[in-house]
Structure 1
Amino acid sequence: MTATVRSAWGDVPATQLRQFAERARNEIPVLAQDILREIRREYPGLPVILDESGEPMSLIGIRRALEHFVEHLATGLGSPHVHPRVFQEFGRGELLQGRSLDSLQAIYRLGVRLAWRRLAEIGQQAEIPAPAMYELAESGFQYLDGLVAESVRGYAEAAARQAGERLRLQRRLLDLLLTDHGGDVSMDELLAERAARIGWPVPQAVAVAVLVRPAREAVPPAVGPDVLLDMEREQPLMVVPDPDAAGRAELLRRATAGWTGAIGPPVPLADAAKSLRWAQSAITLMQRGLLPSGELLHCQEHTEALVLLPPEELIDDLGRRLLAPLDDCGASHGRRLAETLLAWLETRGGAPEIAARLSVHPQTVRYRLRQIRELWGDGIDDPDRRFELELVLRAKRLRGQ
């Protein structure tokens, strides 16, 4: 069986409590003014915001806080407090002014300290026992916690609205940025306007990255505020300003650890849609297993694959026509001839150099080169034909064929 904890405040006669509460209530107007005066002396930079009647909001808040607290003095300190909603407005104001809640909480503590000093004087006049006054002090600090909680709630709600609004404006900027403008100069002014609304410095160049979620609940990449990050898309996007700046690549690598993605080449701001297309193409090749995954891939480092692999049908059709001479050579021998042909096209070297590249005997290379000339005839000396053959053979090598 739980023992009931006696309350020293509850043991004070009701008439004595009513007398104390009445005196405290009469002191509220003057006490509120005194508290505000001291707060302004300690914090001279505190902005003065007036309500519709021209009265300072801070004075209204102090007065209401004192009134609500005093209401409970005669009924018992354990009664639940109703905290003035104006303290939520104070929290919202701190966010809108670009400040943290630290200074606001310090102001609250100052106000409670001054209020307690006056209540202690009234307690002596009303002959309230010391143990009861200790309970009153504890209740006062609990009340302070409630006021702080109201301000935190207001601050958090304002921050959420502000973040939501910024996200909406950022999405509008991204939609415009990633649209192909076709050289429309008038779009530059609109881009600058939308960028200014979210405080994004307009860069000269950008690179666009496409990300693949490792899991639905994955923590977003910890990019800096200058990187536009849209996590609401099925495949999140990043617009990275000045991607060639010193240290940028390393910062991106750390920020995207655990993510798979591709970042397009740096382009002028107006061409951001082009960078996005290359990144999307790289993601498609990753999903087919033709490019490495598991980290942020830079398209600039895989230009050959991005140029040769996407036009698959065209390359295959060209390959069927150009490599037709190998059709009757058998799969294994045809593959060896193709490897030798590609090595010759890439190096234009002699048999020893090609042999070293393929790890075979130079005499084997000479034999294969004679066969190649017999199969393709004089066409093998045509520069255009050699270029097309190299394209086809490089594409097959990239595919692992």
Structure 2
Amino acid sequence: MALSTAPGPPPPGLSAAKIVAYLHGPEPYLLIPDPTPGTHQALVRWLQGRQAVAGPVVARTDAGASLRWARTLLALTPQWPGTAGELLFVEDHLAKVVLFQDPLLAGHLSAKWLGRLSDMTPRQRERMEQTLLAWLEGGGAAEAAQLLRIHPQTVRYRLRKLERIFGGSLRTPQARFEILLALKIHGMAAECARLRHRAEELPARAASEPRRDARSIGR
């Protein structure tokens, strides 16, 4: 289990579960045997107010891999100041963790394909990426139009432009698979960036709001 910040000493109920806690240094973590429901509840109470990610249960020799996956997801999760932490599970976000195990390689894959749209305006690029994703996921222009709630002819027009940009790649299964991954990586990275930006704005927004004492309430 990867932790955003170190908690205090574990309560007696958790000590009995033989939890190994490394709470010093910039990346605190826990090693926990396959948790029972009671252990899970005690963990949530102990870690309240801290962001934490639990890796999947693996053989002892693979514990380092489970922790690495947990840290990957923790790095993608924005830390919300002043809010209670949340216990996340890698098992619920496997695709995201797989795509971002090597952020540099993921970014290279995204740039390899989506960089071809760099000459467009941000709005044009967004429309093309949405159309391409809907087409790849839906399996055809009619299905993409239904997903996007636009006219099929609009989808076909955009697809013709995309075919001029990507050439014969859109007819190659391997290229279509890589383009779909690139779109997924781009979308997840953009969403993480938006959430992180919102999290960073919270302290500044709270500081700028005028404080009201009890006497001013109701006036």
TM-score (norm 1): 0.41
Question: Partner of 1:327 in structure 2?
Answer: 118
- Residue 380, structure 1, aligned to residue 204, structure 2: no
Instruction: Return the alpha-carbon distance in structure 2 between the equivalents of residues 384 and 247 of structure 1.
Output: 46
**Cα distance in structure 2, aligned partners of 1:337 and 1:280:** 33
- Deviation at residue 298 of structure 1 after TM alignment: 0.7
Whether the 8 Å contact between 2:51 and 2:79 is mirrored in structure 1 is: no
Matched, 1:270 2:61: yes
Task: Give SS of 1:241's match.
Answer: coil
Q: Secondary structure at the match of 2:56?
A: coil
Name the structure 2 match of 1:279.
70
Q: Does 1:241 align with 2:62?
A: no
What's the offset of the Cα at 1:278?
1.3
Aligned to 2:135: 344
Alignment length, in residue pairs?
185
Matches within 5 A, 1:2-401: 209-213=1-5, 219-222=8-11, 224=14, 225-230=16-21, 232-234=23-25, 235-243=27-35, 245=36, 249-286=40-77, 294-348=85-139, 350-400=140-190
Percent of matched pairs sharing the same residue = 35
Q: Distance in 1 between matches of 2:41 and 2:160?
A: 50
- Runs of 5+ in structure 2 lacking a partner? 192-219
String of CA shifts for 1:74-123, please: whole Å, max 9, x gaps.
Answer: xxxxxxxxxxxxxxxxxxxxxxxxxxxxxxxxxxxxxxxxxxxxxxxxxx
Q: Tell me, yes or no, if the aligned pair for 1:355 and 1:362 is still in contact at 8 Å.
A: yes
Q: CA, structure 1 residues 344+221, in 2 after alignment: closer, same or farther (shift >3 Å)?
A: farther
Computing the radius of gyration over CA atoms, which structure comes out larger, 1 or 2? 1
- Secondary structure class of the residue paired with 1:323: helix
Q: CA deviation at 1:333?
A: 1.0
1:220 deviates by 4.2
Q: Report what 1:12 is aligned to.
A: none
362 and 304 in structure 1: CA distance in 2 versus 1, 3 angstrom threshold? same
Q: CA RMSD in A?
A: 2.8
The answer to whether the Cα contact below 8 Å between 1:229 and 1:236 also exists between their aligned partners in 2 is no
1:237-261 C-alpha deviation (Å, 9 max, x unpaired) = 2222124x55654553344322211
2:55 alignment partner AA: G
Aligned residue type for 2:29: L
Cα distance, 1:391 vs structure 2: 1.2
- Match for 1:317: what amino acid? H
CA distance in 1: counterparts of 2:38 and 2:162, whole angstroms: 49
- Between the aligned partners of 2:113 and 2:182, the Cα distance in structure 1 is 8
Structure with the bigger RCO (C-alpha within 8 Å, sep 6+) is 2
